[in-house]
């Protein structure tokens, strides 16, 4: 596996694949890889001639008081993990390489970016769409892999590709969990010992809420999650998916999505399911 840090070198490496009309899989990540990222990469390896994983903590998707500086980073470890699952190129650019110019064209995502995570992270999804667009332009992947863990991000990327006619197939991948149900996340390292023990109760409560979805009540749901996790709920919402609108009797697929604050970390989780299942 090659670790590449410049756009020029990456495009030189990919040139023969374009010429041969080979398929290119892209797995965008912010690094500090875990099994969730590995599953995305494995799917990409199975479906493409060559796989590029990007490893870049994107500053434009972090707000001023968020954890950009503290976000865990370990490129050497990431390179080992990516290599193990068959990634051919790990693209790990510097911030200067990705953003050499200031004050140019930026993205303004629509209403679906202002709810759920977007409500407490203003501008977050504008940054996500910016970096994803840049990666698509630089790499020109045939297929790009995204986890359902970040379901709102996935929905917005699907909208981006649809609205801007981007020639890439988006491949959604199911959430990978720890044995006790906690969704794997690079940020789980910020949980205290007690928080780590209580955190799986978020998913457990979401499952209970799913089973009783006909009587879903947001206020009660907040109380249930806070009692079970001892965290502070940022949001718990039931919406249609992937449109992220209030649920009507027409909707068949819905998302039950939640975000939870602990002392040094904010966790997200969700269940996407068909109504009546
Ligand atoms: P991140 O490095 O957290 O930005 O995540 C990179 C990609 O991996 C995103 O598409 C995430 O949705 C996906 N991902 C992260 N954690 C998981 C997980 N536990 N299960 C499935 N996909 C995940």
Res 251: pLDDT: 85
Query: CB 217: neighbour CB atoms within 10 A?
Result: 12
Res 78: pLDDT: 98
Which residues, including other chains, have CB under 8 Å from residue 143's CB and lie 6 or more apart? 23, 24, 25, 26, 44, 47, 48, 168, 169, 170, 171
Alpha carbon nearest to ligand 1 atom 6, residue? 29
Q: Is the pLDDT of residue 115 over 90?
A: yes
Residue 1 and residue 87 in contact, taking contact as beta carbons nearer than 8 Å: yes
Alpha-carbon gap, residue 61 to 59, rounded angstroms: 6
Q: What are phi and psi of 126, to 5 degrees?
A: -60, -40
Tokens representing residue 82 in the block: 């990516």
State the catalytic residues: 37
**Strand partners of residue 272:** 255
| pLDDT tens column, 198-209 | 999 999 999 999
Full-model pTM: 0.98
Res 277: pLDDT: 57
Mean pLDDT of the chain: 97
Alpha-carbon gap, residue 57 to 106, rounded angstroms: 18
Alpha carbon nearest to ligand 1 atom 15, residue? 36
| pLDDT tens column, 145-159 | 999 999 999 999 999
Residue corresponding to tokens 């604050």? 261
Residue 52 and residue 26 in contact, taking contact as beta carbons nearer than 8 Å: yes
Q: Is the pLDDT of residue 240 over 70?
A: yes
Res 55: pLDDT: 99
| pLDDT tens column, 83-93 | 999 999 999 99
Alpha carbon nearest to ligand 1 atom 18, residue? 36
Alpha-carbon gap, residue 144 to 147, rounded angstroms: 10
| pLDDT tens column, 218-230 | 999 999 999 999 9
Q: Is the pLDDT of residue 36 over 60?
A: yes
Atom number in ligand 1 closest to CA 185: 16
Pocket of ligand 1 (CB under 6 A): 29-30, 36-37, 40, 146-147, 149-150, 173, 175-176, 183-186
Atom number in ligand 1 closest to CA 32: 2
Query: CB 39: neighbour CB atoms within 10 A?
Result: 19
Q: How deeply is 222 buried, as exposed, middle or buried, from its count of CB atoms within 10 A (0-12, 13-18, 19+)?
A: middle
The mean pLDDT of 72-99, rounded to a whole number, is 98
Query: CB 196: neighbour CB atoms within 10 A?
Result: 16
Residue 194 and residue 202 in contact, taking contact as beta carbons nearer than 8 Å: no
Res 83: pLDDT: 98
* Predicted confidence band of residue 57 (pLDDT cuts 50, 70, 90): very high
Tokens representing residue 208 in the block: 């209970």
């Amino acid at each position: 596996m090659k670790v590449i840090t410049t756009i020029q070198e990456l495009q030189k490496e990919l040139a023969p694949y374009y010429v041969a009309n080979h398929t290119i899989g892209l797995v965008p990540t912010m690094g500090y890889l875990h099994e969730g990222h590995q599953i995305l990469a494995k799917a990409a390896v199975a479906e493409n001639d060559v796989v590029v994983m990007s490893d870049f903590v994107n500053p434009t998707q972090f707000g001023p008081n968020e954890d950009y500086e503290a976000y865990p980073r370990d490129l050497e470890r990431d390179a080992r993990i990516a290599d193990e699952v068959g990634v051919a190129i790990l693209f790990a650019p510097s911030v200067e390489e990705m953003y050499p110019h200031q004050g140019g064209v930026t993205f303004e995502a629509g209403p679906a970016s202002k709810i759920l995570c977007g409500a407490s992270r203003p501008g977050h999804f504008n940054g996500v769409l910016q970096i994803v667009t840049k990666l698509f332009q630089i790499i020109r992947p045939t297929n790009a892999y995204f986890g359902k863990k970040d379901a709102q991000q996935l929905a917005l990327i699907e909208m981006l590709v649809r609205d801007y006619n981007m020639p890439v197939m988006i491949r959604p991948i199911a959430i990978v969990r720890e044995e006790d149900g906690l969704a794997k996340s690079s940020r789980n390292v910020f949980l205290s010992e007690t928080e780590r023990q209580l955190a799986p109760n978020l998913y457990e409560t979401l499952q209970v809420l799913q089973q009783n979805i006909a009587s879903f009540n947001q206020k009660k749901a907040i109380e249930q999650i806070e009692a079970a996790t001892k965290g502070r709920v940022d949001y718990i919402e039931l919406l249609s998916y992937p449109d992220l609108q209030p649920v009507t009797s027409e909707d068949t697929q819905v998302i039950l999505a939640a975000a939870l604050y602990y002392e040094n970390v904010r966790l997200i989780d969700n269940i996407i399911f068909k109504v009546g299942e």
